[in-house]
Amino acid sequence: MKKFIAMTALFIWALAAPALAEEFGTLPIMDGGQVVKSNENELIKEYNLAPQAVWEYYKGILSQDKEIRFTDRGHLYTIEDLGSRPWRRIAITKTQPDKTMMTVDMLTWKWIMIMLSLRFMAVFVVLLVLYLATFLGTSLLARLSKEPVKQGA
Amino acid sequence: MDLQEVFDLINGIFFTTGITHLSWKYLIMWAIGGLFLYLAIKKNFEPLLLLPIGFGIFMVNFPLVPLMGITPEGHGELIRIFYHYGLEWEVIPCVIFLGLGAMTDFGPLIANPKVMLIGAGAQLGVFVTFTGTVLAGFTLKEAASVSIIGGADGPTTIYLTQHLAPQLLGANALAAYSYMAMVPLIQPPIMRLLTNDAERKIRMKQLRSVSRTEKILYPLLCTMVIAILVPAVTPLMGLFMLGNLMKESGVVGRLTETAQNDLMNIVTIFLGVSVGATMEADKFLSYRPLFIFGLGIIDFVVCTAGGIVTVKLMNLFLKDKINPLIGSAGVSAVPMSARVSQMVGQQYDKKNYLLMHAMGPNLAGVIGTAAAAGMFIAMFD
């Protein structure tokens, strides 16, 4: 009976935890741990838990949403919002087996502008690589064929 | 049979018609469909696409029509099937790119590859509009799909939108094709505003001739670069380059001809009518399409300006100057925007032939828009 009551209590706690948990930009934050840094754009918490436990907690509350992307990057778990939530990313470090650093970043204009600038530059890089490849390729062909470059269309 | 039964029968017939389900929303959609039919038929604006799109909008906006729904047996109705296999499966944009590739001559781009950078500069509007779209309350994925409109590339817009925000497909595709059709109206004022008289009269060196070997190797090279750097758009660019290789190789004439004509025509019909049919009154009538159209025009303007400014920046370092009027051709819209460069150039110097020079940035714009789309897909999909 005691076991049943304990299990029921745990189940109810698990259901209610996200609702009762503190929030950061509408994201329910996992209880416990120590706040390392907190400001309006970023929250960093350290847990004495395995990274998998933190990862599973957020998977549990966010996995129903199609706009959320879960990625395992080897040294890091990331959970990104591709919709319109105020927060942008949760990063969970995997460097230590029993200690986890969790960072929640808000979606800010600074991030959007940097992301767009980098992507714009990346388009330049793609076309620059294509330019260089074309230039080198045609020069090489001209040299191999030893034909003078003709003028006129 | 008594009179009551006759009335019941008439009543039954009456309720199977759409008359009792008509509403003001349908009237608005008929007007929108009618507008695009008018633009296609009377004004000759992108008729190959705006005509089937306009009719698709018109046809689907009647109550009870079995076109875009799913039957009780669970299979799609006629246009839903075109839409499902053509657009949801992203087949049609890629097949259209195959046909476009089979019509494209990369000669001007191979002869003067530095204009490739203009195609990148002309993507400026894509990234600027993204911020405006987010400000207007769209999600990041939606913002990416709306902002690609300025690239002036219909199939790429459809491909990206289908990936990231399929709910905006109709509005995005319509905005892209409408503004592509309006390139001769939108671009010249910007071109005049950003250039001076001397710049407009710059004559460029005649392009060298490009060998068949170069033209055959180029699609392979381009596919390799795109597949390595932006793999997300390889389905689009890969088929584009396949079409081009078929054409340039000269050994598959029948296939090339089919890709250029019959295949292209068939998929264009399915594309147009499917895109039009996504615009059902209940889904389409909101403030969002208006925002998309508004942001689309800003996007186009900034992309055009981006191409021109890129040329001006390049001219600071080049000995042989580039006429900035060809910068506007960095938006895709092949070959319309290249023709606009030629047209505006000849208004200032009748013997200045810019068309072939403008084709280079025009084709670079296609690649640049696809690269920008690939960046967004990699990030948000």
Q: What is the distance of C-alpha B121 from the center of its chain?
A: 18
Of A83, A123, A128, the CB nearest to B123: A123
Which residue, B265, B285, B267, B279, is CA-closest to B33?
B279
- What whole-number distance in Å separates Cα of residue B381 and Cα of residue B375? 10
In total, the C-beta contacts within 8 angstroms joining chain A to chain B are: 115
Contacts of residue B72, defined as CB under 8 A and 6 or more positions apart, other chains included, come to none
Give the residues across from A23 on adjacent strands: A28
pLDDT in tens, B248-299: 999 999 999 999 999 999 999 999 999 999 999 988 888 888 899 999 999 9
pLDDT in tens, B304-357: 999 999 999 999 999 999 999 999 999 988 889 999 999 999 999 999 999 999
Of A125, A134, A153, the CB nearest to B209: A153
Q: Is there a cis peptide before residue B72, judged by omega within 30 degrees of 0?
A: no
Does the beta carbon of B298 lie under 8 angstroms from any beta carbon of chain A? no
Does the pLDDT value for residue A39 go beyond 80? yes
Q: Which of residues 338-367 of B touch A (CB under 8 A)?
A: 356, 364, 367
Count Cβ neighbours within 10 Å for each residue of B169-185 and write b for 16 or more, e otherwise.
bbbbbbbbbbbbbbbee
- Which residue on chain B is closest to A140 by alpha carbon? B214
Q: What is the DSSP letter of B322?
A: P
- Portion of chain A with pLDDT greater than 90, in percent: 50
Q: Where are the beta strands (DSSP E) in B102-148?
A: none
Does the pLDDT value for residue A20 go beyond 90? no
CA distance A150 to chain B (A): 6
A14-23, A89-98, B80-89: least confidently modelled range: A14-23
pLDDT in tens, B55-69: 999 999 999 899 999
Instruction: Kindly determine whether residue B364 and residue A127, on different chains, have CB atoms separated by under 8 Å.
Output: yes
pTM over 0.90: no
- Portion of chain B with pLDDT greater than 70, in percent: 100
The residue-averaged pLDDT of A106-110 equals 92
Which residue, B107, B27, B128, B126, is CA-closest to B363?
B107
Residues in chain B within 8 Å Cβ distance of A111: none
- Which residue on chain A is closest to B121 by alpha carbon? A124
Does the pLDDT value for residue B216 go beyond 80? yes
Q: What is the distance of C-alpha B239 from the center of its chain?
A: 16
Which residue, B308, B354, B355, B356, is CA-closest to B331?
B308
Instruction: Kindly determine whether residue A127 and residue B120, on different chains, have CB atoms separated by under 8 Å.
Output: yes
Give the residues across from A93 on adjacent strands: A76
- What whole-number distance in Å separates Cα of residue A61 and Cα of residue A30? 10
- Which residue on chain A is closest to B224 by alpha carbon? A130
Going by pLDDT thresholds of 50, 70 and 90, the confidence category of residue A17 is: low
pLDDT in tens, B145-170: 999 998 889 999 999 999 999 999 98
Q: Is B349 helix (H, G, I), strand (E, B) or coil?
A: coil
Which residue, B156, B199, B139, B149, is CA-closest to B179?
B149
Residue B146's H or E segment, with its range, is helix B140-147
Q: What is the pLDDT of residue B117?
A: 96
Count Cβ neighbours within 10 Å for each residue of A15-29 and write b for 16 or more, e otherwise.
eeebeeeeebbebbb
Instruction: Kindly determine whether residue B206 and residue A153, on different chains, have CB atoms separated by under 8 Å.
Output: yes
Instruction: Kindly determine whether residue A137 and residue B109, on different chains, have CB atoms separated by under 8 Å.
Output: no
